[in-house]
């Protein structure tokens, strides 16, 4: 489903990758509304075109042209002064050759601009809409870790296969979805172990896409640390995609380890959050893609050496940091995230022709 909505002198093109019932769709639409106001204020006498780059293949101009024409038709491309590309959900890179390609598709009188996505989209989404379990007591902790997985991405399968082979699954609450391709995957797994502790969905393909809750309260409260398996794992160092998954333990006051892009933990510290290097080695965050999961496994192996009493003691030691991160998420981080949104057009980058 797509929109092509003319708002005074700005035409917006939004590809609906989210179901309309999702709050994420509401947030994305609000971002476009705010950006439209900024463009109107900055270019009051110009006809502008604002395009959401999410779910577009910007590196393939032929495919991009087909996508744009298929989704929006030719009418909006007839005569515009400026074109703005905004990555609402995912970061993306646009080079100068892209400006040449886009001018072959769209008749641009003036300039092509890229609006830098410095805000965290999922940070906006979860900030006000997450169903949060925050009142955790260390006395409820009975398992070492929680590791939810729905889609069977390679990095998740590799992690879980390692946990199984090293007999670590029994220390946690673990889920893993499946699909028709997993049986042929080099890291394919058949079960999560007969431990009695796991929400074993192997073979059922029935895990709901639970974006805005933290799952069963008993599982959340009963686990010491959240092993977050992010949506993206293999990525360049300058591209770190943070989904709703990384924000859940921050809002839920749970310590966490991230199986995600390199330097994810450093990115969070850059945002002002405090991480857990005082309790375990976070050097895994600096390791290259082929080594990072092994680094995470080493940390898990250290954590499972502790008995439950020790985990409860560690959690008590962390409470101040967990509380700090929770309030930082709702206040300073949210304010900075909003400021990045408010500065989108002011900090635009013109993509000049080669």
Task: Tell me if 346 is assigned to some domain.
Answer: no
Q: Would you state the pLDDT for residue 133?
A: 67
Q: Mean pLDDT throughout 90-115? A: 74
- Are residues 107 and 201 located together in one domain of the fold? no
2-36 confidence digits (pLDDT tens): 444 444 588 776 665 677 788 888 898 899 899 99
More confident of the two residues 180 and 139 = 139
Domain count, the chain: 2
- Going by C-beta distance under 8 Å and a sequence separation of 6 or more, which residues neighbour residue 150? 175, 177, 207, 208, 209, 210
Residues in the chain: 354
- CATH code of 156's domain: 3.40.50.2000
Q: State both tokens at 240.
A: 């770190």
Q: State both tokens at 109.
A: 């009188």
Which DSSP string corresponds to 198-223?
----TTT-------SB-S-HHHHHHE
Confidence band for 203, pLDDT divided at 50, 70 and 90: very low
pTM here is 0.87
3-state secondary structure of 18: coil
- Are residues 212 and 314 located together in one domain of the fold? yes
Q: Phi first, then psi: give them for residue 225, nearest 5 degrees.
A: -130, 145
Q: Would you state the pLDDT for residue 17?
A: 66
Nearest Cα residue to 133 out of 297, 326, 320 = 326
- Are residues 190 and 253 located together in one domain of the fold? yes
Q: Would you state the pLDDT for residue 195?
A: 46
List 227's β-bridge partners, or say none.
Answer: 257
Tell me what the pLDDT averaged over the chain comes to. 84
Is residue 65 a contact partner of residue 36, using CB atoms and an 8 Å limit? no
- Going by C-beta distance under 8 Å and a sequence separation of 6 or more, which residues neighbour residue 191? 200, 202
Q: What domain range is 281 assigned to? A: 123-334
Instruction: State the Cα–Cα distance between residues 310 and 315, nearest whole angstrom.
Output: 9
Residue with tokens 């003319």: 6
Instruction: State the Cα–Cα distance between residues 304 and 168, nearest whole angstrom.
Output: 8
270-293 confidence digits (pLDDT tens): 999 999 999 999 999 999 999 999
Percent of the chain with pLDDT over 90: 49
List 13's β-bridge partners, or say none.
Answer: 4, 51
Task: Tell me if 238 is assigned to some domain.
Answer: yes
More confident of the two residues 338 and 214 = 338
- Are residues 57 and 78 located together in one domain of the fold? yes
């Amino acid at each position: 489903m797509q929109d092509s909505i003319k708002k005074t002198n700005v035409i917006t093109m939004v590809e609906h990758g989210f179901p309309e019932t999702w709050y994420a769709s509401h947030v994305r639409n609000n971002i476009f509304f705010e950006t439209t106001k900024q463009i109107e204020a900055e270019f009051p006498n110009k006809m502008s075109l604002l395009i959401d780059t999410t779910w577009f293949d910007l590196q393939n101009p032929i495919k991009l042209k087909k996508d744009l024409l298929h989704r929006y038709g030719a009418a909006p491309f007839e005569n515009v002064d400026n074109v703005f590309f905004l990555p609402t959900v995912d970061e993306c890179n646009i080079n100068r050759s892209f400006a040449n390609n886009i001018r072959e598709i769209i008749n641009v009188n003036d300039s092509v601009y890229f609006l830098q996505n410095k805000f965290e989209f999922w940070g906006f989404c979860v900030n006000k809409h997450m169903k949060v379990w925050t009142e955790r007591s260390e006395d409820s902790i009975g398992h070492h870790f929680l590791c939810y997985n729905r889609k069977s991405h390679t990095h998740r399968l590799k992690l879980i296969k390692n946990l199984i082979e090293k007999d670590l699954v029994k220390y946690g609450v673990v889920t893993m979805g499946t699909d028709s391709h997993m049986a042929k995957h080099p890291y394919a797994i058949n079960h999560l172990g007969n431990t009695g502790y796991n929400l074993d969905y192997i073979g059922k393909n029935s895990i709901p896409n639970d974006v805005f809750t933290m799952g069963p309260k008993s599982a959340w409260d009963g686990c010491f640390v959240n092993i977050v398996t992010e949506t993206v794992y293999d990525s360049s160092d300058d591209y770190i995609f943070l989904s709703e998954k990384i924000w859940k333990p921050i809002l839920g006051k749970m310590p966490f380890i991230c199986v995600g892009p390199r330097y994810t933990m450093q990115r969070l510290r850059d945002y002002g959050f405090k991480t857990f290097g005082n309790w375990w080695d976070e050097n895994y965050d600096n390791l290259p893609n082929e080594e990072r999961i092994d680094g995470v496994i080493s940390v898990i192996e250290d954590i499972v050496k502790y008995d439950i009493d020790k985990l409860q003691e560690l959690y008590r030691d962390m409470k101040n940091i967990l509380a700090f991160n929770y309030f930082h998420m709702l206040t300073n981080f949210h304010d900075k995230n909003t400021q990045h949104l408010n500065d989108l057009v002011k900090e635009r980058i013109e993509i000049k022709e080669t």
